[in-house]
Amino acid sequence: MKPAPPHSFTAVRLSVIIPSFRRPEGLKLAVRSVLAQTGLDHVATRIIVCDNSPEASAREVIAAIDSPDMPIAYLHEPATGVANARNTALSATDDDFIAFLDDDEEAPSDWLSKMLATQSALGADVVFGPVSARLMATHVKYPAYFKAFFSRFGPSDTGLIDHYYGCGNSLLRRAALPQVHEVFSVDRNDCGGEDDKLFYGLREQGKRMAWAADAVVWEDVPQSRSTLNYTLARAFAYGQGPSTSAMAHTPPKPFTCAYWMINGAVQTVMFGIWGGLLTLMRAKGAASALDKCARGLGKLIWFPPFKLGFYGTALLKTNAPGR
């Protein structure tokens, strides 16, 4: 695919959307990192925080942040679900570009200028950037594994790509998005993957996707997530993605689903045995092998009642106020 000629982003309007759920300290860090952005002299930038906790726990957090140079809009979406939060925030802006930052991420001061520069140079509809994990736990058994699990890696050079990543640390051209009320699929509110479904559709339509290799953000990983109990469950859910997407396609693709299930069965057996042996040997590679086993099992067992929930109503049960 040949890159489009560069164009200026002078007089661009940009909204930075930060969905949030009961992460006051992380939210403050994320918002303040956006307020500290540089190189945006000709870009009208604003922040939209969408609080997805039923009790509106982030309202006071945002009210306490002084932002004379960049407006902050606070929205409350009480219907818990990651797609609900993103859709509510999107409905509040018609700006030219939408950037997404998660409430556990911090962006360096040149993040947005680098994302916009990549979009301008390549004529991209969607731009993704790297995510570098920062483990908050001082002592974990498999630090390299956990850092890699929560990080996002990509090509070493900036350029057009033929695949997509997640919504955190992304820049979207508003005109390229579907002209519908619910841009993010609400049937993914509890399980996640609403961004994958959107980007898959955009790719099928031939939209340009790009990677900004220098536009990294940091993600802070709490101690509660630096455990195999957490990551292997997430790995299982990630593994369910290909099989689920095949059957959620219109029309469904049963043969594609069967391919992924067979692939998953082989992966489960191979890495299950290997991971077990490495665990017995207390080898460093045990966590990675068990992760691949869990992802394989997810491809094989992708249907209800084995669908795991990490968002929406499931999050309400595991993340009560004050926890």
If you average pLDDT over residues 125-142, what whole number do you get?
Answer: 95
Distance CA 233, CA 91 (A): 33
Assess whether the previous peptide bond of 305 is cis (omega < 30° from 0). yes
Over residues 141-169, the mean pLDDT reads 96
Supply the pTM of this predicted model.
0.89
Residue 2 covered by a domain? no
Share of the chain above pLDDT 90, in %: 79
Question: How many domains does one find in the chain?
Answer: 2
Closest to 124 measured CA to CA, from 82, 161, 83, 87: 161
191 band by pLDDT with thresholds 50, 70 and 90: confident
Please state, in angstroms and as integers, the Cα–Cα distance from residue 284 to each residue in 25, 144, 153, 289, 303, following that order: 32, 9, 21, 10, 32
Distance CA(233)–CA(228), nearest Å, equals 8
201 in the same domain as 85: yes
Query: Does a structural domain hold residue 309?
Result: yes
pLDDT band at 315 (very low <50, low <70, confident <90, very high): low
- Side chain identity at 317, as an amino acid letter? K
Q: Is the pLDDT of residue 7 over 70?
A: no
Residue found under tokens 């925080």 = 49
Q: Report the candidate in 88, 112, 106 with the shortest Cα–Cα distance to residue 29.
A: 106
Residues 232, 217: one domain? no
Residue 3 pLDDT exceeds 60: no
Note the helical H segments in 190-308.
Answer: 194-204, 228-248, 254-280, 286-300
pLDDT of residue 206: 96
Residue 116 within any structural domain of the chain = yes
Query: 23 and 138 in one domain?
Result: yes
At 6 the pLDDT is 42
Residues 117, 97 contacting (CB under 8 angstroms): no
How does residue 156 score in pLDDT terms, banded at 50, 70 and 90? Answer: very high
Residues 156 and 251 in one domain: no
104 and 172 co-located in one domain? yes
Domain assignment of residue 307, yes or no: yes
Domain that holds residue 64: 12-225
**Same structural domain, 244 and 130:** no
Q: Which of 200, 225, 250 is the last residue of a domain?
A: 225
Q: What share of the chain is helix, strand, coil (3-state, %, to 5)?
A: 40, 15, 40
Q: Is 72 helix (H, G, I), strand (E, B) or coil?
A: strand
Residues 128 and 165 occupy one common structural domain: yes
Do 234 and 250 lie in one domain? The reply is yes
Q: Do 207 and 302 belong together in one domain?
A: no
pLDDT of residue 316: 64
C-alpha to C-alpha distance for 26 and 12, rounded to whole angstroms: 28
The pLDDT tens digits for 251-305 are 999 999 999 999 999 999 999 999 999 999 999 999 999 999 999 999 999 998 8
H, E, C per residue of 152-178: ECCCCCCEEECCCCCCCCEEEEHHHCC
- Non-local CB neighbours of 149 within 8 Å, separated by 6+ positions: 133, 231, 234, 235, 291
1 domain-assigned: no
